[in-house]
Amino acid sequence: MPTANRLRKPGWRDTRLLIGLVLVLASVAMGSYVVSRADDRVPVFAAGKPLVPGQPLSEDDLVRVDVQLGSQDARYVSATSGLPADRFVLREVPAGELVPLSAVGGRDQVDVQPLTLSVDAGSAATLRVGTRVDVYVNPVDRGSSGGTRSYRGPELALSGVSVAGVADSSGSLGSSGGDRAIQVMAPTDRIKGIIGDVDAGARITVVPVVSADGKAG
């Protein structure tokens, strides 16, 4: 009567054991690599919506993202300890982009203020917060006669300023008639002159700045 073969305990020279050991070691090495790469990520802030110069900055305007920046991490606003108080936007940051340290500063570094202008409703309809525009002023021609108002110009009053707000159809920001109000962040030293022109009856026109890729703003 035939007898059953005894099962032999695998030894170190068993091929299957060696292959299994290699696979386990490879899996451990791969896991360690993935974990080490993940540990290279750092938390920084990205713009949750378009940021325009002069606006007070809060964490409600930002989103935290964990990214691998290598030696460049010091260039961006860290989300490790939160956003410091009394921070302001110094230059435009489009929605979704990481926020550079150079785009954020204190109140004393802000050199722009919000200026509300009344413009043609059709022109205003194409604008969004963050759009960059040139502002032209047509002053009233004081030499006009016959009871008909005429204008001089146009003259470029502001170049490449950011739109901070656009009136909606309900009339917010002070819209009236066929015009709509927009708010731009204008250099502080230019505001007085533009207000004087507007009070004197000047007509205001805004033209979106076209970027190198052909898109407005």
pLDDT tens, residue by residue, 52-102:
999 999 999 999 999 988 888 789 999 998 898 999 999 999 999 999 999
In a domain, 14, yes or no: no
In a domain, 9, yes or no: no
**Dist CA 75 CA 44 (whole Å):** 10
Last residue of a domain, one of 108, 131, 146: 108
Looking at the chain, the number of H-run helices and the number of E-run strands are: 3, 10
Residue 128 shares a structural domain with residue 186 = yes
The residue segments making up the domain with residue 201 are 111-208
In a domain, 28, yes or no: no
Residue 119 shares a structural domain with residue 173 = yes
In a domain, 36, yes or no: no
Total domains in the fold of the chain: 2
Residue 99 shares a structural domain with residue 124 = no
Last residue of a domain, one of 66, 81, 108: 108
Q: What is the pLDDT of residue 9?
A: 58
**Minimal CA–CA distance to 92: which of 213, 214, 211?**
211
Last residue of a domain, one of 57, 87, 108: 108
**Dist CA 13 CA 57 (whole Å):** 67
Which residues of the chain have a pLDDT value below 70? 1-14, 16-18, 20, 29, 31-39, 143-147, 169-177, 212-217
Q: What is the pLDDT of residue 88?
A: 96
Residue 117 shares a structural domain with residue 187 = yes
Q: What is the pLDDT of residue 156?
A: 96
